[in-house]
């Protein structure tokens, strides 16, 4: 089976520092991978290299077997490599319904033509309704984003990513800043993602990581030091050393 994402020997230097140092990993349909590592380990840089926000000095990124290393981010998105939107990029005077509709139209390359054809408009709004329903946002669909809670804004980021019909979804700390009382909604949203999708999530919340991931990758100083099952990660000597014990006792029940 062709991997959905295949990252081969990526390298990126900033000045003299190897921030991504010969990193290789692959993801198949259904994978739920958590990418963790101490602060400054190179997680964000790695994601930026995968999405095309940064160009690697060496190495390749393959999406469903196609080499996309030279492709711009927008072209990678069209091919199914989607990073969740950031709350800071939402429009606070627009509604969740409008945001998701824009994402559907962007996917189809028809943004700006929403009101052109009645039948098409109905089909778009039906799809928007299904996505908002999947993420439990139906009741809020016509409120302004500024009127909805932060946790629900973060669900909207995931809804917009879903509207782009990803094959590979990259989630950057989806529950960061969300009050504890609302994190179960984020978890339910993650559970409801299509089983065909490959999902890579960066997060510092080890409880969330252990509930979500079927595989954990640990980056330290730009290098993958662990790629395996969640149950094994806290016992790994290199991981323990990288964290100096800070997470070593977390999630052993996973």
Interface with ligand ATP, residue 19, by CB under 6 A: yes
Surface-to-core class of residue 93, CB atoms within 10 Å of its CB (0-12 exposed, 13-18 middle, 19+ buried):
exposed
Of 35, 54, 70, residue with least CA distance to 206? 35
Residue 41 Cβ, how far from ligand ATP at the closest point, in Å? 4
The one segment of 22-30, 39-47, 104-112, 129-137 that binds ligand ATP by CB under 6 A: 39-47
Interface with ligand ATP, residue 12, by CB under 6 A: no
Interface with ligand ATP, residue 56, by CB under 6 A: no
The one segment of 43-51, 58-66, 124-132, 231-239 that binds ligand ATP by CB under 6 A: 43-51
The one segment of 35-43, 59-67, 110-118, 185-193 that binds ligand ATP by CB under 6 A: 35-43
In the list 8, 13, 22, 44, the residue contacting ligand ATP (rule: CB under 6 A) is 44
Residue 239 Cβ, how far from ligand ATP at the closest point, in Å? 14
The alpha carbon of residue 40 and the mean position of all alpha carbons in its chain are separated, in whole angstroms, by 19
What gap in Å lies between CA 131 and CA 26, rounded to an integer?
Answer: 28
Kindly state the helix (H) or strand (E) to which residue 21 belongs, with its residue range: strand 17-27
Partners of residue 237 on adjacent β-strands: none
Residue 63 Cβ, how far from ligand ATP at the closest point, in Å? 21
In the list 3, 4, 33, 43, the residue contacting ligand ATP (rule: CB under 6 A) is 43
Altogether, the residues listed in the chain come to a count of 254
Interface with ligand ATP, residue 40, by CB under 6 A: yes
CB atoms within 10 A of CB 155: 26
**Structure token pair of residue 204:** 């510092």
Separation in Å, CA 149 to CA 117, 133, 152, 171, 179: 34, 17, 5, 19, 10
Query: Measured from the CB atom, is 18 or 114 closer to ligand ATP?
Result: 18
Residues in 85-124 that interact with ligand ATP by CB under 6 A:
none
Q: How many residues form the binding site for ligand ATP (CB under 6 A)? A: 10
CB atoms within 10 A of CB 187: 16
Is the Cβ–Cβ distance between 158 and 189 less than 8 Å? yes
The one segment of 38-46, 67-75, 127-135, 157-165 that binds ligand ATP by CB under 6 A: 38-46
Query: Measured from the CB atom, is 50 or 159 closer to ligand ATP?
Result: 50
Looking up tokens 């999708």 gives: 197
Beta strands in 95-222 (DSSP E): 168-172, 198-202, 215-220
Query: Measured from the CB atom, is 54 or 103 closer to ligand ATP?
Result: 54
The one segment of 40-48, 70-78, 186-194, 205-213 that binds ligand ATP by CB under 6 A: 40-48
Looking up tokens 């000045």 gives: 15
User: Which stretches of the chain bind ligand ATP, using CB under 6 A?
Assistant: 14, 19, 37, 39-45
């Amino acid at each position: 089976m062709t991997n959905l994402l295949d990252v081969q020997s990526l390298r990126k230097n900033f000045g003299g520092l190897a921030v991504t140092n010969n990193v290789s990993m692959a993801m198949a349909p259904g994978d739920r991978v958590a990418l963790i590592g101490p602060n400054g380990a190179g997680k964000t840089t790695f994601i930026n290299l995968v999405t095309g926000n940064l160009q690697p000095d060496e190495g390749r990124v393959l999406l469903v077997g196609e080499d996309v290393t030279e492709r711009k981010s927008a072209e990678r998105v069209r091919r199914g490599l989607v990073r969740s939107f950031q709350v800071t990029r939402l429009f606070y005077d627009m509604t969740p319904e409008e945001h998701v509709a824009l994402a559907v139209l962007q996917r189809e390359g028809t943004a700006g033509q929403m009101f052109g054809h009645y039948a098409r408009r109905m089909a778009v709004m039906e799809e928007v309704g299904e996505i908002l329903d999947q993420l439990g946002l139906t009741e809020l669909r016509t409120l302004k984003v500024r009127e909805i809670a932060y946790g629900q804004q973060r669900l909207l980021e995931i809804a917009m990513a879903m509207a782009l019909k990803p094959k590979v979804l990259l989630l950057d700390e989806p529950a960061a800043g969300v009050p504890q009382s609302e994190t179960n909604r984020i978890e339910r949203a993650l559970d409801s993602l299509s089983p065909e999708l490959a999902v890579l999530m960066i997060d510092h919340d080890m409880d969330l990581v252990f509930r979500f991931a079927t595989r954990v990758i640990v980056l330290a100083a730009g290098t993958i030091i662990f790629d395996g099952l969640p149950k094994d990660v806290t016992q790994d000597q290199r991981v323990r050393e990288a964290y100096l014990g800070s997470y070593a006792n977390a999630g052993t029940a996973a």
